[in-house]
Amino acid sequence: MDSINENELLSANKKLAFQVQQKENRVAKLALDNKKLVCQNDENEKCIEELKNINKVLMFHYQKNKKCNEELTIANKELLIKNKEKEKKSVMTANDK
């Protein structure tokens, strides 16, 4: 009877050892997956910082272009006013003849 119990215990022990090994393998795989995710996260954070810097540069150029556009709009309005004044003068000069 002792030998049957011993064999059963050995068999159960082997099964448990196998299950433990499988779980350890899963843990090792999860640890590797976690390392990969940490690396990806670090890369993403670096990319985000680069994108923020690019965005700052783009915003600077946008503001600069916006200011130039405003100045051009004012200059165009002034030119339109001058052209209208010239037209009036030329019409008045033509009417005087």
Determine the Cα–Cα distance for residues 10 and 8; give it in Å rounded to an integer: 5
Instruction: Identify the DSSP state of 1.
Output: -
**30 Cβ contact partners less than 8 Å away, ≥ 6 residues apart:** none
- pLDDT band, very low/low/confident/very high, at 4 (cuts 50, 70, 90): confident
pLDDT of residue 2: 60
pLDDT of residue 97: 65
pLDDT digits 0-9 by tens, 60-97: 999 999 999 999 999 999 999 999 999 988 888 877 76
**Regarding predicted confidence, which is higher, 22 or 89?**
22
